Amino acid sequence: MKILEKVLILGTGSAAIQIAVNLKNNLECSVGIAGRISARSQAFFAELFENNHKLCAYVQNKEHHLMSGECVIDHAFVGYDAVNGEWDTMIVSVTNDAYISVLKQMDTGILRCVKCIVLVSPTIGSHRIVSHFLQQSGCTAEVVSLSTYYAATKGENSAIEVLTKGVKKKIYLGSTSKNSDAARQLIDWLRTLGIAAELTRDPFVAESRNISIYVHSPIFMNEYALNYIFGEDGTLKYAYKFYPEGPITQYVIHDLLMQWEEITGILNGFNVERFNLLQFMNDDNYPVRTESLSREDIENFTSFSAIKQEYLLYIRYASLLIDPFSIPDANGRYFDFSAVPIQKVYQNEAGYWCVPRVPNEDYYRLKILQGLARNLALGTPTIDKMINLYEQKLSLFALMHRDSLLSDDFALKSLDEELTFVCYED
């Protein structure tokens, strides 16, 4: 059964555009894009229609040339409720906290005809949330989770152009269907892009192989980072720099390790084996030189004491203040790899205050993890601490700006529906 002949992409962001170009050029399938009605998507659809459905993807580095190209998509739908026709596969390229709200806007008759739904950037448990929602709607589609989006892509000169700055070395996939032919077809497609792909035995395994789950919340949901995100200090702060230029301290590293332990306990409840965090960071994401971290220390990370594990993680972040594999300039300076600015709260085109995707999406991830832990009767003091601090800062900002327009980002999340789906036993 071919599942990549008629593909609908849900979302109009940079990742959606890159995916559309790759699908159209590598598989020559019928591709459609649907997006919500908003000021940003209005600009996208206006340019798309003006340019006869053309999309463009550029790359920053020549070695990623397989990602570049342009294409003409076959269908475009302004609003998810406007989607019509029959689709083999829907690729959901929106933030993972929006999966259910997006699917709810679609005609159930269309959903019931879909064979496969692919989650591009899920969190732990997303496949269960989506699968059980679909079952409730009478849809029997297979759900495939990718570990994460396969590139680092941003908008370029216009709403229909993107620039890809980096490509993941490896992507993991997990399916709700055993012996998934759909997952194998997706793996074959990813390999045409030069990306290694591995099918895991379970979607929980694939969803757990996203570095953001382990890194973002300790780095962005601490006192230093949140005071900057929600405060009035206009001096740039950098996510991956050490205090005082950025949030990284011995305490952040401690929380990173403790959160990994808590997530490991949750995953164990779903029969996911403990994995080596440092090796995953190094081998599947950003490596450091062996002069900084020995191979022996990386491979034996899980066997060490907590204090040595913290020490090795601290070394890793210190070693990535610069890109250790970049070419130094005439002054011996390497590329400033850690100079990633922390984004502050902002007002959108309609004047509403919004929280940046990081940490807004990480708040959702932590609430799902907290709910899973409680269902398994597990304690999560580190996760609880980060959620409580984030909600305090969120509420304080909302109180201080009570006379301003506030987006839904400032609503405290209960996630009752999602947690019912994710904790439901098949």
Cβ(55)–Cβ(73) below 8 Å: yes
Instruction: Walk across the sheet containing 161-167 and list its strands.
Output: 69-72, 54-59, 161-167, 151-155
| Count of structural domains within the chain | 2
Alpha-carbon gap, residue 301 to 274, rounded angstroms: 12
Does a structural domain hold residue 339?
Answer: yes
277 and 297 in a common domain: yes
Q: With respect to residue 326, please indicate whether it lies within any of the assigned structural domains.
A: yes
Catalytic residue, from 53, 132, 216, 254: name it.
Answer: 216
Residue 197 lies in a domain: yes
- Mapped onto helix, strand or coil, the DSSP state of residue 27 is helix
Strand residue runs (E) in 82-208: 89-92, 116-119, 142-146, 151-155, 161-167, 170-175, 196-199
Pair (318, 406) in one structural domain: yes
* Enclosing domain of residue 142: 6-208
CATH number at residue 374: 1.10.1040
Quick one: which of 45, 15, 281 has its CA closest to 150?
A: 15
Query: Residue 358's pLDDT is what?
Result: 97
Q: Is residue 112 part of a domain?
A: yes
Distance CA 124, CA 369 (A): 7
pLDDT in the model for residue 359: 98
89 and 109 in contact (C-beta within 8 Å)? no
Answer yes or no: is 158 within a domain: yes
Last residue of a domain, one of 208, 233, 261: 208
Peptide bond into 356 cis (omega under 30): no
Within this chain, do residues 182 and 217 fall inside the same structural domain, yes or no? no
Pairing of strands 116-119, 142-146: parallel
CATH number of the CATH domain containing 80: 3.40.50.720
Q: Which of 177, 208, 239 is the endpoint of a domain?
A: 208
What CA–CA distance (Å, rounded) separates 338 from 318?
9
- Both 318 and 202 in one domain: the answer is no
pLDDT tens digits, the chain, 426 residues: what are they?
788 999 999 999 999 999 999 999 999 899 999 999 988 899 999 999 999 999 999 999 999 999 999 999 999 999 999 999 999 999 999 999 999 999 999 999 999 999 999 999 999 999 999 999 999 999 999 999 999 999 999 998 899 999 999 999 999 999 999 999 999 999 999 999 999 999 999 999 999 999 999 999 999 999 999 999 999 999 999 999 999 999 999 999 999 999 999 999 999 999 999 999 999 999 999 999 999 999 999 999 999 999 999 999 999 999 999 999 999 999 999 999 999 999 999 999 889 999 999 999 999 999 999 999 999 999 999 999 999 999 999 999 999 999 999 999 999 999 999 999 998 766
Considering the domain architecture, whether residues 166 and 249 belong to the same structural domain is answered as: no
Q: How far is residue 262's CA from residue 254's CA, in Å, rounded to a whole number?
A: 12
Residue 60 lies in a domain: yes
Distances (CA, A) of 73 to 42, 77, 129, 339: 17, 11, 30, 36
Which residue among 152, 175, 208 closes a domain?
208
pLDDT at 426: 61
Predicted pLDDT of residue 2: 86
Please check whether residue 189 lies inside any domain of the structure.
Answer: yes
Q: Is residue 1 part of a domain?
A: no
Residues 174 and 257 in one domain: no
Same structural domain, 218 and 129: no
216 labelled catalytic: yes
